[in-house]
């Protein structure tokens, strides 16, 4: 199964065209700065695309000896998937909605049945048809009017996350002309004829305007609201009670909401509680009250309510207090009960509470590390709660919790074909110690016959940003690593949300370096516990997790055998200095604003591109997409080009650019599997496994 000879070929390194090497020289806080690869930002220059294609050709040449292995990996991963499949239907109004897949087709088909699951199937949207002639296809909004007659949906055909909005008559099957460009959220009013939608500012890609569209009115769409603060995005939605439209506006640290009765679509939105800096809240409706999840008395949020006619802060009554040890991540309100979406000690919890009785029920979960998410609970009058559960060894499972019987009914577990036996695998939850003594959660999975003597290869992943927990989820593709002796681990480092808002606060702004030292401590702990060894340890992260990869590789290149970095945010200084780029202004509250000297100096201490140096580095596979609107392709391209001039080792350094996709990579499910097979061939080859 293993070999001492790595299955990689050799090829001539790609070189940028000499005529197009235009460095940028500027002054920041009196410091002269030179960016030799600034020219790569010129997306319209054919030489830039040619250079990226040359890098692709180089990566393919180096990986050519693994082509057969890639094909085998793809085939075994595909063999585990039930290609023709149906998701569990959910109820909305008079219909049951679901999506299904067909063998050989890249994208899902969205369908419904009226009143009964035995009724004839209606196709509401076939993404395979919409994808014809496009290398990429993603669905954004999908909103059906209350009467079930109309579907508002949006699609992106480039990967730039720029969505076009359409309305389809589900009775006739006729789709109207494009209603709007660059759209985000949508919501129907109760009259089934008025549609609210948001659009983005073309320059910054933030959702900033709300429009009102009246079908068949023959009038231009009305601008209802515009958010002037560049740190804020807006979104429109509908309460589960269907009684109210909600317009939310929020930055990374501050938010406010406006409401409009759904039955009065041409009325005016009113503000519930004006924004207060560093306070976040969201709102829902039940009976005569609005319910607010708010972090005004503590970072981890509490639940309050206020009368509909007096919703301001002075009227708030506490329902669930703030608890320092419990993060209140969300609240789902229903006619007779509500569900608290909580996280304690890094693990999610679903707590069902009865209106009136106050009776509390915790939905039990059996494993040491897992994920649990709310499902599509669109009906207000119900006694059941749809949720999903999965772990590193348990495939995604869809369940209904019965509030009256206090029992969960398994509706479907995602099939894993080929005789998957979960009893062969073990999952653990460990804790490592950070340099400052903080305990860091780790989630681990491996085959039970994997040796624990430091000889096993490991893939260690991390993220640590925006207060987002790194989800502990199942992957049938991952079995291709586990069955070849890999241990797979997730490091839940600070900057994420595993331990609530304070966990996020301790890994952002002027504490960002904690994210990187946490990850290094996690890797060292796994080595000390003999799960792996540095020469067998591969690490992986994407986007902000790619920043993590770049930072820890600069800090401790000796600790890792190889690094896989997806769409990595590695040029933090230059990107955050450029307020014209999408997302920059809104993310000052995550990374800091380098126009401030202290924040500039701090970002410089960890920015991967800035801190590349003349030394040996692990093997690197860096992946990006030409149409990425979040981490522009030139960040990883510049990073690789600069590193080529500095590194002193002979380890592979590959840049792979998807020229027809965006931040998430390929959109088609078969195309995505091919990308994973490429990555796994690289990872396995780095530890001497070539079949």
Helix (H, G, I), strand (E, B) or coil at 676: helix
Structure tokens at 166: 């359409």
633 closest CA partner among 673, 596, 661, 611: 661
pLDDT at 11: 77
pLDDT at 216: 86
pLDDT at position 9 over 90: no
pLDDT at 311: 97
pLDDT at 17: 57
Active site residue 213: no
CA distances 419 to 294, 477, 576, 660, Å, are 47, 14, 49, 36
pLDDT at position 20 over 70: no
Torsional class of 192: left (φ above 0), alpha (ψ -120 to 50), beta (otherwise): left
Rounded to 5°, angle at Cα 473 from 471 and 475: 140
Question: pLDDT per residue over 155-198, tens digit each?
Answer: 999 999 999 999 999 999 999 999 999 999 999 999 999 999 99
Cα dihedral sign for 37, 38, 39, 45? positive
pLDDT-derived band at 515, boundaries 50, 70, 90:
very high
pLDDT at position 552 over 80: yes
Rounded to 5°, angle at Cα 601 from 596 and 606: 125
Q: Scanning the structure block, which residue is given the tokens 């009143």?
A: 115
pLDDT at position 6 over 60: no
Question: pLDDT per residue over 310-344, tens digit each?
Answer: 999 999 999 999 999 999 999 999 999 999 999 99
pLDDT-derived band at 455, boundaries 50, 70, 90:
very high
pLDDT at position 105 over 70: yes
pLDDT at position 2 over 50: no
State mean pLDDT over 411-425.
97
pLDDT-derived band at 10, boundaries 50, 70, 90:
confident
Active site residue 628: yes
Which residues partner with 654 through β-bridges?
621
pLDDT at 5: 39
pLDDT-derived band at 7, boundaries 50, 70, 90:
low
pLDDT-derived band at 248, boundaries 50, 70, 90:
very high
Mapping DSSP onto H, E and C, the string for 394-444 reads CCCEEEEEECCCCEEEEEEECCCCCCCCHHHEEEEEEEEECCCCCEEEEEE
State mean pLDDT over 445-460.
98
Average pLDDT, the chain: 95
State mean pLDDT over 22-27.
86
pLDDT at 12: 77
Q: Scanning the structure block, which residue is given the tokens 């199942």?
A: 474
The residue annotated as part of the active site, out of 282, 284, 628, 679, is 628
pLDDT at 16: 60
State mean pLDDT over 445-452.
98
Structure tokens at 579: 């307020």
Torsional class of 133: left (φ above 0), alpha (ψ -120 to 50), beta (otherwise): left
541 closest CA partner among 558, 510, 518, 525: 518
Neighbours of 171 (CB within 10 A): 10
* Phi/psi at 517 (5° precision): -70, -30
Q: Are the C-beta atoms of 343 and 497 separated by less than 8 Å?
A: yes
Helices 544-555, 513-528: crossing angle, 10 deg rounding = 70
pLDDT-derived band at 1, boundaries 50, 70, 90:
very low
The residue annotated as part of the active site, out of 492, 504, 525, 663, is 663
Q: Worst-scoring range by mean pLDDT, 25-34, 113-122, 228-237, 538-547?
A: 25-34
C-alpha 22/C-alpha 9 separation (Å) is 32
Q: Are the C-beta atoms of 231 and 217 separated by less than 8 Å?
A: no
C-alpha 83/C-alpha 598 separation (Å) is 53
Share of the chain above pLDDT 70, in %: 98
The residue annotated as part of the active site, out of 388, 475, 480, 543, is 543
Q: Are the C-beta atoms of 256 and 233 separated by less than 8 Å?
A: no
pLDDT at 202: 87
């Amino acid at each position: 199964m293993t070999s001492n000879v790595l299955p990689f070929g050799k090829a001539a390194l790609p070189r940028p065209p000499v005529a197009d090497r235009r460095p940028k020289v500027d002054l920041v806080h009196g410091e002269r700065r030179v960016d030799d690869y600034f020219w790569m930002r010129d997306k319209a220059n054919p030489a830039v695309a040619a250079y990226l294609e040359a890098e692709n050709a180089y990566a393919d040449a180096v990986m050519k000896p693994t082509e057969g292995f890639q094909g085998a990996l793809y085939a075994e991963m595909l063999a585990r998937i039930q290609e023709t499949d149906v998701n569990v239907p959910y109820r909305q109004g008079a219909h049951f909605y679901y999506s299904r897949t067909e063998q050989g087709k890249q994208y899902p088909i969205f369908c419904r049945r009226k009143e009964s699951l035995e009724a004839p199937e209606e196709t509401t949207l076939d993404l395979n048809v919409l994808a014809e002639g496009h290398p990429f296809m993603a669905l954004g909004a999908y909103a059906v009017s209350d009467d079930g007659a109309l579907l508002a949906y949006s699609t992106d055909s480039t990967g730039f996350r720029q969505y076009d909005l359409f309305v389809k008559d589900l009775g006739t099957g006729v789709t109207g002309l494009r209603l709007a460009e660059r759209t985000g959220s949508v919501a129907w009013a109760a009259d089934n004829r008025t549609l609210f939608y948001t659009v983005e500012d073309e320059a910054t890609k933030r959702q900033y305007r709300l429009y009102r569209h009246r079908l068949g009115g023959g009038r231009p769409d009305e601008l209802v609201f515009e958010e002037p603060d560049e740190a804020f995005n807006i979104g429109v939605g509908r309460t589960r009670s269907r009684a109210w439209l909600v317009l939310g506006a929020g930055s990374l640290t501050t938010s406010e909401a406006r409401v409009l009765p759904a039955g009065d679509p041409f009325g005016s939105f009113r503000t519930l509680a004006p924004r207060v800096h560093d306070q976040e809240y969201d709102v829902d409706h039940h009976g005569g009250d609005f319910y607010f999840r708010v972090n005004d008395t503590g970072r981890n949020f509490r639940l309050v309510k206020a009368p509909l006619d007096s919703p301001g802060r002075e009227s708030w009554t506490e329902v669930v207090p703030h608890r320092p040890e419990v993060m209140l991540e969300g609240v789902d309100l229903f006619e007779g009960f509500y569900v608290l979406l909580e996280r304690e000690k890094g693990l999610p919890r679903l707590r069902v509470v009865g209106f009136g009785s106050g009776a509390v029920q915790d939905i039990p979960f059996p494993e040491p590390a897992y994920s649990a998410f709310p499902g599509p609970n669109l009906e207000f009058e119900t006694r059941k709660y749809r949720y999903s559960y999965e772990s590193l060894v348990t495939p995604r499972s869809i369940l209904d919790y019965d509030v009256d019987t206090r029992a969960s009914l398994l509706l479907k577990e995602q099939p894993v074909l080929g005789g998957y036996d979960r009893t062969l695998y073990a999952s653990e939850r460990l804790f490592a110690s950070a340099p400052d003594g903080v305990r860091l959660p780790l989630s681990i999975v491996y085959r039970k016959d994997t040796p624990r003597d430091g000889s096993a290869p490991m893939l260690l992943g991390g993220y640590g940003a925006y207060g987002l927990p790194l989800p502990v989820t199942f992957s049938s593709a991952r079995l291709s690593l586990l069955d070849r002796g890999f241990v797979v681990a997730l490091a839940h480092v600070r900057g994420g949300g595993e331990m609530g808002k304070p966990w996020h606060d301790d890994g952002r702004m002027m504490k960002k370096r904690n994210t990187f030292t946490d990850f290094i401590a996690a890797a060292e702990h796994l080595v000390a516990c003999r799960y792996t060894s540095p020469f067998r340890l591969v690490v992986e992260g994407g986007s902000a997790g790619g920043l993590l990869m770049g930072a820890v590789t600069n800090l401790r290149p000796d600790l890792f055998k190889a690094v896989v970095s997806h769409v990595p945010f590695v040029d933090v200084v230059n990107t955050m200095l450029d307020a014209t780029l999408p997302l920059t202004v809104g993310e000052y509250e995550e990374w800091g604003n380098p126009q401030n000297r202290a924040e500039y100096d701090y970002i410089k201490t960890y920015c991967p591109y800035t801190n590349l140096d003349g030394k040996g580095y692990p093997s690197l596979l860096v992946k990006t997409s030409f149409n990425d609107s979040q981490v522009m392709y030139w960040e990883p391209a510049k990073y690789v080009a600069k590193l080529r001039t500095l590194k002193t080792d002979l380890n592979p350094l590959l840049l792979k650019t998807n020229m027809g996709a965006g931040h998430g990579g390929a959109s088609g499910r078969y195309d995505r599997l091919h990308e994973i097979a490429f990555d796994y061939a690289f990872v396995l080859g780095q530890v001497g496994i070539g079949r």
